[in-house]
Homo-oligomer: A and B are copies of this chain.
């Protein structure tokens, strides 16, 4: 009699699986290569008619995996059944190649076997294994499926009549009943990949569909030894018990792969009654409509007893697992992995967005699992100034994945800008130059289309720069202030990156009043100052370490005069902010990293500043008491000196007569709004009078406060 041949599974991987795997690797697995449970599904085999020849062609026995494969609660699509499996993703292509495939395969086969022997559970019979390597930088995925199937020795044979139409055995009513019973089961539990069909031969009663696990209860009496192949025994008992399975194979001659393990299951558990098995290859997902025929097939299979001397499942020995086969061949017909290259089919903008996130998420794999990236990514940043500092700050923010970056600048791109301002190029300078803020925003979009970047050409009114008395000038100033207020409202962090002292005043006041994060960077020739403005501290609030919030100063807290016009009458070297070219990228990146550290700190805007006396040993801060975020310390001020390649952390206290952040100023602003600001713009002495700085000065008091760094007063530019 002919030996039964089986059609193997063909893996069908939907690209969504790879996207899910990418996410899983980046966010959950990281460096783990532990096995992950996955599910797949398959349907009854389908065939198509060749339009030219009229021949019917069986489609491959697809086992489909997709985005839902990682969802343990996912149910197979209508008409499909589930397979369970294991996915093992390697960290490197070398590890993938070097994986001990025999061990992995045997492990899965053993799991199937153990399930059979120990619990008679059929749900694991179609277990599969897939090993993968995901090259997330190139969107290329390497994978290899295995569908372990036990080898029967000797092999199963089929009678000369071969596979016959199911209708030769069952009436249409029977088949419709089977379909209805399968559908009913599928609607409230997992659809059955394997089942039993019992029919009372004598009474021509209903067919009964039952799980494979009911075999013992439904099975006929044991065969008479030696009478293998004689089916009359069973039928003579009055019932016909057929083993059925959803057959992914549409090839009339060869049943699908799942039959192998069903047969192994039966032989292992019921060796006495399974020398001859009637099999139903169920392929009728729908009841045939119109003149169509039922597609399911039946056949009667027989197997000889195991050859003497070989360990056989027939002996019921759990340890005696039959050998298994089932690594999938690749498209070249070789036993080897397959590759899916998703790059060409992906939207480039989406590729870019994923690539940007990739580098960030990698930080969480090994180095900083506790890093909360979203705090940085979601921070909406307002950059006041789109010059050297503004451009470098924007670039560092983009590196951190920040998605909302807004520039404010009143200038146009000049020929001297591009070599120092890394968002402009030569052509931006032609025809008088593009507006800097808008041009910088456009440039960010060219770098990363996924960014939400905008630019506003806006001159920030300044104290000591009187608003001309014309109504139009006043209206313009009012509109400019309103626009700046709205912009600060809409953002979480405000960077002060202008080239004058007094232009920082208005955003300092508004930022403090609105409780925003304010970061400040200023350049000298070879020194820089990077600082975060202190928050408007309530004297009652405490940080996560239980200590009261520090009252840290702002840019103006060390001043004994109010900011005033320092711009008019500047010589060329003062106007151009002559600096060592390396200074701006260092200061800008430092300001952004300061924001990153601040956002990670549990006290956020109120993160305590490390004391300035911290020893210079890099590990001396290990024992700090609540000063560190997961990214490290959150200094208040950093002063850098390129001549010594040195950075000094400083702490400056809030000053109650400060023209930028004192309560006097903030309350005057909050109650009087633009009127108060206008006085400050127009009257160079207004702020000093308001804060009482003028009296301090007049009374000849020692106005120097207890600050840590005493050179501040000498520096014109800070």
Q: Which residues of A pack against B, CB within 8 Å?
A: 25, 30-31, 91-92, 94-95, 136-138, 348-349, 351-352, 354-356, 358-359, 362-363, 365-368, 392, 395-396, 398-401, 414-420, 422, 424-427, 429-430, 446-449, 525-526, 568-573, 575-576, 578, 580-586, 588-590, 592-594, 596, 614, 616, 618, 621, 628, 631-633, 635, 638-639, 641-649
Q: Is the CB of B429 within 8 A of A447?
A: no
Query: Known: A585-B586, A586-B590. Contact between A580 and B447, CB under 8 A?
Result: no
- Give chain B nearest CB distance to A433 CB in angstroms: 10
Q: How far, in whole Å, are A447 and B583 apart by their CA atoms in the complex?
A: 19
Q: Are A573 and B365 in contact, with the CB atoms below 8 A?
A: yes
Q: A92-B570, A525-B363 in contact; A631/B580 too (CB < 8 A)?
A: yes
Assembled-state Cα–Cα distance A122/B578 (Å): 46
Q: Tell me if B419 and A356 are in contact (CB < 8 A).
A: yes
Residue A645 contacts which of B429, B430, B635 (CB distance < 8 angstroms)? B635
A448 contact set on B, CB distance < 8 A? 418-419, 426
Contact of A395 among B136, B422, B586, B590 (CB under 8 A): B422
Q: How far is the CA of A585 from the CA of B396 in the complex (A)?
A: 8
- Distance A368 CA – B138 CA, assembled complex (angstroms): 49
Candidates B138, B526, B645; contact of A647 at CB < 8 Å: B645
Contact between chains at A618 and B644 (CB < 8 Å): yes
Which residues of B have CB within 8 Å of A596? 580, 582
Residues of B within 8 A of A362 (CB): 572-573, 576, 578
User: Within 8 Å CB of A348, what residues of B?
Assistant: 415, 426, 429-430
- A632-B642, A647-B647 as given contacts; A416 in contact with B585, CB under 8 Å: no
Please name all residues of chain B whose beta carbon is closer than 8 Å to the beta carbon of A416 when the two chains form the complex.
137, 352, 355-356, 358-359
By a CB distance below 8 angstroms, the chain B residues around A351 are 415, 429
Of A92, A571, A583, most buried by chain B (CB within 10 Å of CB) is A571
| Least Cβ–Cβ distance between A716 and chain B, in angstroms | 11
- Quickly give the copy total for this chain: 2
Q: Which of A352, A368, A583 has the most CB of B within 10 A?
A: A352
Supposing A632-B644, A646-B616 touch, asked if A396 and B365 sit within 8 A by C-beta, the answer is: no
Which residue of B426, B642, B647 contacts A646 across the interface (Cβ within 8 Å)? B647
In the complex, what residue of chain B is closest to A420 when comparing beta carbons?
Answer: B399
Q: Which residues of B contact A94 (CB under 8 A)?
A: 568-569
Taking a contact as CB atoms under 8 Å apart, the answer to whether A571 and B91 are in contact is: yes
The reply to whether A641 and B618 form a contact with Cβ atoms under 8 Å apart is yes
A589 to B588, CA, bound (A): 11
Sample 8 A-B pairs with CB under 8 A, ordered by A number. Answer: A92-B570, A359-B576, A363-B573, A585-B588, A586-B586, A594-B645, A616-B616, A633-B644
Chain B residues with CB under 8 A of A569 = 92, 94-95
Residue among A30, A137, A368, A416 with the most chain B CB within 10 A? A416
Q: Which residues of B contact A568 (CB under 8 A)?
A: 92, 94
Contact present for B589 and A526 (CB under 8 Å): no
Q: Which of A362, A575, A590, A645 has the most CB of B within 10 A?
A: A645
Contact A593 B572 (CB under 8 A): no
Contact check: which of B359, B582, B631 meets A643 at CB < 8 Å?
B631
Q: How far is the CA of A691 from the CA of B140 in the complex (A)?
A: 42
Contact A643-B633, Cβ < 8 Å, known A355-B416, A585-B588, A590-B586: yes
Question: Closest 9 A-B residue pairs measured CB to CB?
Answer: A399-B581, A632-B643, A582-B589, A355-B416, A355-B415, A582-B593, A91-B571, A585-B585, A94-B569
Q: How many angstroms from the CA of A406 to the CA of B136 in the assembled complex?
A: 30
